[in-house]
Structure 1
Amino acid sequence: MTNARNAANPIKRVSVVSTGSVSIHPEHVAATRKPLYWWLFTSRRWTQPLPINVYVIEHRDGLVLFDTGQDRASVTDPDYFPGGITGVMYDRLSRFDIAPEQTLTSQLAAIGYDIGDVHTAVVSHLHQDHIGGLRELTGAQIVVSRREWQSLGQAAPELRGLLRSHIDLPGLRWRHLVPEPLADRTLAPFTTGHDLFDDGSMVLLPTPGHTPGSLSMLVRGSGRAPLLMVGDLTYDVGLLERGHVPGVGEKRQLSATTEMINQFRLANPGLTVLAAHDPSAAPALAGATSGDLAAAHAQL
């Protein structure tokens, strides 16, 4: 786009905060030949604590979040998770550590933002560690793909990691997004998506596999290194670059989406891929945005 509105870079700042940490099984990070429920209930190995990242984008039209983190109530409220065998599954899936100062509201305040300033929160998918801040975002528009929302209405959502009582909350303003054809050929191999502010700076892309309706978000601007936030498509960008997929999701779809991301990455030198739980994401973001800060200071 070349109109006056888009002449200046609309992205002012990109940051990351973490609402605690999570440990998962190595088979969760990288798929093996073991069936999911086999390793889920038999694996005794856990990863080192991984971040629960929320990406914070200051756009000239409003503050945007990509994902909302994990709710601290998940470690303080004994009734947060379902009971019975379903509760055992959640207990075996992950171990969380969330300090009192690691709520979404506190983490935003620590980098200079008020929770009430959030204009839009894009949810990559509806698993618990991405929707935890929803109850704090009653003033924001919450964006999720319609395909992902539809999965919430299917049978036994709890067995697929969807806790409806923590998602479908009163007072939230949901927007169920249907990707539309994209005219921007630079986004190939992606052909559908959604331009969040209609200026090309923040484009939502369908990246199914981890869940049927998972979304990623491309953040870009003049003179800015492009960033691609991919949720749980991977837990380790190095594995993604080698074509390895996680152990949770539909493997064939994960592989197809991973191939598309790698095609896009190779066509866009300098692209930084940012996952939700990759320990390398925060330093990668700092490296990618250091040039932006230098340019900003040069203009002062």
Structure 2
Amino acid sequence: MKRVKLQWLARGSCRHPAFMTMRGASLCPTDFPAMVGLIRHPDRGAILFDTGYDPAFIEATTPFPERLYRWTTPVRISPDLAWHAWLAKHDIAAENIAAVVVSHFHGDHVAGMRNLAGLPLYCSAAGLGELRRPGRVRRVRQGLLADLVPAECDADCSFFENVPRVALPADFAPFTEGADILGDGSLLAVPLPGHCKGHWGLALRDEADRAVLLAGDASWSIEAIRRCVPPPRLTTALLGETEAYRATLGDLHAALTNNRELAILPSHCAQAAAAYDSGDAV
């Protein structure tokens, strides 16, 4: 795999009881950061993996029924998360962003897409199809806010499902193949079903030659992967498919157990983010 530089950056957070993300966890409200992958590709430039929260999320959840999303999952979006302020904070030039990869279309992963319209978008056809299906109440129940992804983005999509599959290195076992979205072996999209329709992760090798799997919401925490403890059925059945979610979690557990140098980064886990930033295993 061609090496890339990865920065794993927080962009906003939400707050809800931890037990909703892992059986047996605390009933107390817990902050969950929304992480964004800034991938600096040696040839393509800057590529974003998801976008985190954005002030556009507040606008999109102002009317009903969309406001129910914000009420049930309170968010924290500070002024420094405004698009250009956030880019400047992390030394990202807007004109250098070449593309965006979307793990899935829940609001906390695509809230910044209004700022990226016109760029190549790598995503799941199944996920985009759910976002564009009619029914505002249905979409809110599924965590989807169609207004966050401008319709003009659809013309710029390259779908994971249509990309040739290649073998993954042994570092990622039991995951065996991924979609080579750039055609150079640097970024391999990996299906991680269960959380919602069209949910994928991204396998890469960073500049330190470490295998990294960006796991999206296939788990909310590295602790849940390490212990192989899923969320309660209420959570998984509401958003996706419980049995598929648990099978994916089992594969992530096996990958973490079998490959001690593999960095698995769930999109809402502060512990995994801190460990990766410091160069430690988790």
TM band (smaller chain): 0.7 to 0.9
What are the equivalent positions in structure 2 for 1:1-300 lying under 5 Å apart? 10-11=3-4, 13-31=5-23, 46-61=28-43, 62-75=45-58, 77=59, 80-84=61-65, 87-88=67-68, 90-154=69-133, 156-170=138-152, 173-178=156-161, 180-184=164-168, 186=170, 187-220=172-205, 223-246=208-231, 247-248=235-236, 249-288=240-279
The C-alpha deviation readout for 1:207-230, integer Å capped at 9, x for no partner, is 011112111111215751111111
Assess if the C-alpha contact under 8 Å between 1:123 and 1:131 holds in 2. yes
Task: Report the secondary structure of 1:270's partner residue.
Answer: coil
Specify whether residues 282 and 152 from structure 1 end up closer, same or farther in structure 2 by C-alpha distance, changes over 3 A only: same
Assess if the C-alpha contact under 8 Å between 1:118 and 1:139 holds in 2. no
Specify whether residues 184 and 285 from structure 1 end up closer, same or farther in structure 2 by C-alpha distance, changes over 3 A only: closer
Q: TM-score, normalised by structure 2?
A: 0.84
Q: Max radius of gyration: which structure?
A: 1
The C-alpha deviation readout for 1:125-151, integer Å capped at 9, x for no partner, is 100000011011134211111121222
Q: Which amino acid aligns with 2:160?
A: L
Partner Cα distance (1:285, 1:262) in 2 = 18
The farther-off stretch of 200-209 and 138-147 is: 138-147
User: 1:297 matched to which residue of 2?
Assistant: none
Partner Cα distance (1:72, 1:99) in 2 = 8
Partner Cα distance (1:106, 1:228) in 2 = 28
Assess if the C-alpha contact under 8 Å between 2:46 and 2:97 holds in 1. yes
The farther-off stretch of 59-68 and 23-32 is: 23-32
Task: Report the secondary structure of 2:174's partner residue.
Answer: coil
Shift of 1:30: 1.4
Partner Cα distance (1:47, 1:240) in 2 = 20
Partner Cα distance (1:98, 1:169) in 2 = 24
User: 1:298 matched to which residue of 2?
Assistant: none
Tell me the percent identity. Answer: 26
Unaligned runs of 5+ in 1: 33-44, 291-300
Specify whether residues 144 and 171 from structure 1 end up closer, same or farther in structure 2 by C-alpha distance, changes over 3 A only: closer
Assess if the C-alpha contact under 8 Å between 2:15 and 2:32 holds in 1. yes
Unaligned runs of 5+ in 2: none
Partner Cα distance (1:82, 1:264) in 2 = 42
Task: Report the secondary structure of 1:224's partner residue.
Answer: coil
Assess if the C-alpha contact under 8 Å between 1:245 and 1:251 holds in 2. no
Q: In the comparison of the two structures, how many residue pairs are matched?
A: 267
Shift of 1:196: 2.8
